[in-house]
């Protein structure tokens, strides 16, 4: 079987797609790579929330799939909006790489060791809120661009530290020392560290691709999307969600919604049963709403709309 596989053109996206191609080759599937430039790639000087959120990395690829130009597509799963077209199911999620945020500093300092008023680079509103909750004295500045660009900006001295996903660094072969940020203080973006393969509903490719699915990661990422789906706002507002199998029967879940300035937040943190995960994850999502999660999301969206 031959498939045309769509991907963004960043070095991280190409690295992820090559991994999927190799896995499909082992299933007897030949893939032909097609690079699609997305709006998120075209306007690297603007924060994602000004480009319509993480959909900025996906819209054009979805369009090419629906037009028949692509058979499947590979995405960083956290870049897939919560709402997805029914015609484009996620047919496989690869075994999760590191879910953690990572702090990089030029001298190896930790967040606790950085001086008063240190400048931290990130464009993730979630990371910004979590940093300000942890160190309200820090000056958090926007940091966009691909991994290579971000590392160069750190070396240039513009920032005292930058925060990015550990998975991206490791997939690119960057074996540089980082400080892994714990999930209690830095609950990751939903689906961080996971790679998704999207196919077309009803196509033969949908079944073929499902052969490379990692069942536990598929369930963990589905739970995270249920949690953020309850409070809404997508990934452009400060929301963290992380689910991890602790054994075959139990799954630990943590999710939080923060104010943009990190001054307050609501969270849920519990262990649910694997054989009833959809219902129990939804109950935790509803608890997050009851605690004020939806209100915090709306406050963030209103502030961003007024700022534009």
Catalytic residues: 79
Rounded CA gap, 205 and 168, in Å? 27
Nearest to 20 by CA among 84, 79, 72, 80: 72
> Which C-beta is closer to ligand PBG: that of 125 or that of 167?
167
Q: How near is the Cβ of 66 to ligand PBG at its closest, in Å?
A: 22
CB 101 within 8 A of CB 186: yes
Strand ranges for the chain from DSSP E:
2-7, 30-35, 72-76, 90-93, 101-105, 119-121, 139-141, 161-165, 179-180, 195-198, 239-245, 250-258, 265-273
Q: How near is the Cβ of 193 to ligand PBG at its closest, in Å?
A: 5
Count Cα neighbours of 200 within 13 Å in the Cβ-side half-sphere.
Answer: 18
The terminus-to-terminus CA distance of the chain in angstroms comes to 48
Q: How near is the Cβ of 192 to ligand PBG at its closest, in Å?
A: 4
In the numeric block, which tokens belong to residue 243? 């689910």
Rounded CA gap, 103 and 110, in Å? 7
In the numeric block, which tokens belong to residue 3? 């498939």
Q: How near is the Cβ of 76 to ligand PBG at its closest, in Å?
A: 3
Q: How near is the Cβ of 189 to ligand PBG at its closest, in Å?
A: 7
> Which C-beta is closer to ligand PBG: that of 88 or that of 194?
194
CB 159 within 8 A of CB 143: yes
Count Cα neighbours of 97 within 13 Å in the Cβ-side half-sphere.
Answer: 20
> Which C-beta is closer to ligand PBG: that of 168 or that of 240?
168
Rounded CA gap, 48 and 134, in Å? 23
Binding interface with ligand PBG (CB under 6 A): 57, 76, 78-79, 164-165, 167-168, 192-194
> Which C-beta is closer to ligand PBG: that of 77 or that of 253?
77
> Which C-beta is closer to ligand PBG: that of 169 or that of 208?
169
> Which C-beta is closer to ligand PBG: that of 60 or that of 280?
60
> Which C-beta is closer to ligand PBG: that of 143 or that of 266?
143
Rounded CA gap, 291 and 267, in Å? 8
Helices and strands of the chain, counted as H and E runs:
10, 13
Q: How near is the Cβ of 273 to ligand PBG at its closest, in Å?
A: 27
Q: How near is the Cβ of 276 to ligand PBG at its closest, in Å?
A: 28
Helical (H) or strand (E) element with 151: helix 147-155
């Amino acid at each position: 079987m031959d498939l045309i596989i769509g991907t963004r053109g960043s070095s991280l996206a190409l690295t992820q797609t090559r991994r999927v191609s190799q896995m499909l080759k082992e299933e007897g599937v030949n893939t032909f790579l097609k690079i699609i430039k997305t709006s998120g790639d075209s306007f690297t000087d603007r924060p994602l929330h000004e480009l319509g959120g993480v959909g900025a990395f996906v819209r054009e690829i979805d369009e090419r799939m629906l037009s028949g130009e692509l058979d499947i597509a590979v995405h960083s799963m956290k870049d897939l909006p919560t709402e997805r077209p029914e015609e484009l199911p996620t047919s496989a999620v690869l075994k999760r790489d590191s879910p953690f945020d990572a702090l990089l500093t030029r001298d190896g300092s930790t967040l606790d060791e950085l001086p008063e008023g240190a400048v931290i680079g990130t464009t993730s509103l979630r990371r910004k809120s979590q940093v300000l909750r942890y160190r309200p004295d820090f000056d958090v500045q926007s940091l966009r661009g691909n991994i290579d660009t971000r590392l160069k900006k750190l070396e240039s001295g513009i920032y005292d530290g930058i925060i990015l996903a550990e998975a991206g660094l490791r997939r690119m072969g960057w074996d540089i020392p980082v400080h892994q940020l714990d999930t209690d203080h830095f609950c990751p973006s939903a689906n961080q560290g996971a790679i998704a393969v999207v196919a077309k509903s009803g196509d033969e490719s949908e079944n073929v691709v499902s052969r490379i699915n990692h069942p536990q990661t598929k369930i963990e990422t589905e739970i995270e999307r249920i949690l953020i789906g309850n409070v809404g706002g997508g990934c452009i507002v400060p929301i963290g969600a992380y689910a991890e199998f602790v054994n075959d029967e139990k799954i630990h879940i943590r999710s939080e919604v923060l104010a943009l300035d990190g001054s307050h937040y609501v969270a849920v943190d519990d262990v649910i049963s694997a054989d009833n995960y959809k219902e129990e994850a939804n109950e935790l999502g509803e608890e997050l709403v009851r605690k004020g999660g939806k209100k915090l999301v709306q406050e963030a969206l209103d502030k961003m709309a007024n700022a534009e």
